[in-house]
Amino acid sequence: MEYILVSIFVIASIVGYFLIKNVPSLLHTPLMSGMNALSGITVLGALVATTLSVTVNNSVMGGIIGAVAIALAMINVVGGFVVTHKMLKMIAKDNSKKWIYLAIGGFALVIVALVILMACMGNSPLLYYILCGLLSVGVLAGIALLSKVQLSVMGNILSAVCMVLAIVITAVKYGIFTAWIYILLGLLAGIAVGLYFALKVKMIQMPQMVALLNGLGGLASAIVGAFAMIDIGGDTGAFSCVTSIIALSVGMLTLIGSLVAAGKLAKILPQKSVVYKGHQLMTIISLAVVAVCIVLFGVIPFSMPLAVVMLIVGTLFSSFFGYIFAIRVGGADMPITISLLNSLSGVAGAIAGLAIKDVLLVSVGGIVGASGLLLTQIMCKSMNRKLSTILLGKTSLTESGHPQSQSSASIVDNQSQVDSQPVQQIIKEQQPTLDPIQVLRNARDVIIVPGYGMAIAQAQHLVKELADKLQSNGAKIRYAVHPVAGRMPGHMNVLLCEANVDYEDLYEMEVINPDFATADAVIVVGANDVLNPSARNAEGTPIYGMPILDVDKCSNIFIFNYDTKPGYAGVDNPIYHRTDGVYMYLGNASDTLAQVLSQL
């Protein structure tokens, strides 16, 4: 059975990887929240563990902890699917394929009929595995639909239907109704909190929302792993022991790492890298201790005292590793970190499924793990970073350590007080040689480059208003979105779509880069590192070799940034030194954009 489960995990991961590879970057943020929802498949393990704790062990505490795991998983399920639906409805405004809804309904009816037949046949193992296979295919079909923008809403609905059916199948197979009080409380609490999060969250808060859901999914998997470690849901064999402690460790690592990431994104914790004395050594030692625990728990014959010791030590050191790893991550590496934690939440669920021998948990967890891994690879490639350096905490440390040169660009407005002395000197010494407003009025081919500063200023609606104004003057408007702009994959896409920007106007870096040289104007809103030409030739800097948007090749560049300081990579931007064709509007982007709009 173990070999079959491992094979299912590998196959599901591979198939999921290649399907997810077709999802456009526009949908990467909905993809991540959708994967958060699917990582809630851990609820199946929590249902089983809760039932066994109450009915077999007669443990009230086990029932309470199980209910907590159910609630955590359901927060992921409900919150993830509802948030994904909200985002996709903003992006995919035309949903004309109504027949697909009928197909989803027919699929659900077939599954329900097979579940009833399975129950009538005494929980037939054959029918159970057939059902698991059908639901796994259903999830994969949902991801396939997600790769098409116009069908993405239906893909999310199909995945949600599969999740509900998976819970029904588990309830019937394991007879969870005997622990219905604990299970009902867990389900209701998770649904209520998940709905609250999903309905209250703003699009600008999506990075921390995804990070939080990653953590909750990790904790649910850790609890299921902990149950399996003490022989509830699992067994005392070496395979179950090893996989259960791995599930515990990966789950706790994901929880703490995600909480730190969410704290940084919400500005509760320092956004800069935090490095302690001996940081690298602590990282390696904590990881080594967890590895030793995994080996010992698999080799030494099972006993309850051993399980308890391994559970405590594994929890402490994996949690410490999650903290020491995530606290060192600065803003520059946050997209990679969130993608990696998204992957780990799925991996934790899949490994928990291996420990309790749950086919659905293994297959869907593998798909989620593959999704996060693919996004992590995309982010690493887009930032010219190696995943190994992220795992060992070797992140970009230079936040602003380089001395800032005085800019030679024409600064036509200044709303901020930051760097006031050098900025004011430049204003006195230079005036723009051309009227920037007139340049914008005359532009017929305009490219807008959004960045994290746009998100901070919540200026996406003003950006759309500016684009509409320029379009009314006869300009062609396109948006150039760098893969790592913002704090998670697809962050800028979601914010722009929230402002009713048509997804067909959003262009990936590789597609639009050749057009910067011929564009009449480029409007940069809160972006720096992703367009810094130093990435091409400044060897030894954190951004060297990183693919960038070729903004510097445009003859007229309008920059709506807060200040002229380097970005998170700490590398001065040569665009600021251009003597002609660069117009900088410094300050809060909402204020500076509003001023330009009033002048157009």
Catalytic residues: 529
Taking the C-alpha atoms of residue 17 and residue 22, their distance in angstroms, rounded to an integer, is: 9
Residue 563, phi then psi, degrees to nearest 5:
-155, -175
Run of H or E residues at 22: none
Closest alpha carbon to 228 in 53, 43, 98 = 53
547 Cβ partners below 8 Å, 6+ apart?
381, 382, 384, 509, 535
Q: Compute the C-alpha angle 407/508/568, nearest 5°.
A: 40
How many CB atoms within 10 Å of residue 284? Answer: 14
Q: How far apart are CA 382 and CA 334, in angstroms?
A: 13
Asked whether the beta carbons of 379 and 38 are under 8 A apart, the reply is no
- SS3 at position 270: coil
Q: Phi, psi at residue 31, to the nearest 5°?
A: -60, -45
In the three-class reduction of DSSP (H, G, I as helix; E, B as strand; rest coil), residue 476 is classed as: strand
Burial 463-475 (b: 16+ CB within 10 A, else e): bbebbebbeeeeb
Burial of 323 (0-12, 13-18, 19+ CB in 10 A): middle
CA–CA distance, 413 with 37 (Å, rounded to integer): 45
Helix H, strand E, coil C: the string for 276-340 is: CCCHHHHHHHHHHHHHHHHHHHHHCCCCHHHHHHHHHHHHHHHHHHHHHHHCCCCHHHHHHHHHH
* Other Cβ atoms closer than 10 A to 126: 9
Any idea which residue has 């990936």 for tokens? 508
Distance CA 79, CA 408 (A): 48
Residue 404 · residue 566 · CB < 8 Å: yes
Q: What is the DSSP letter of 268?
A: S
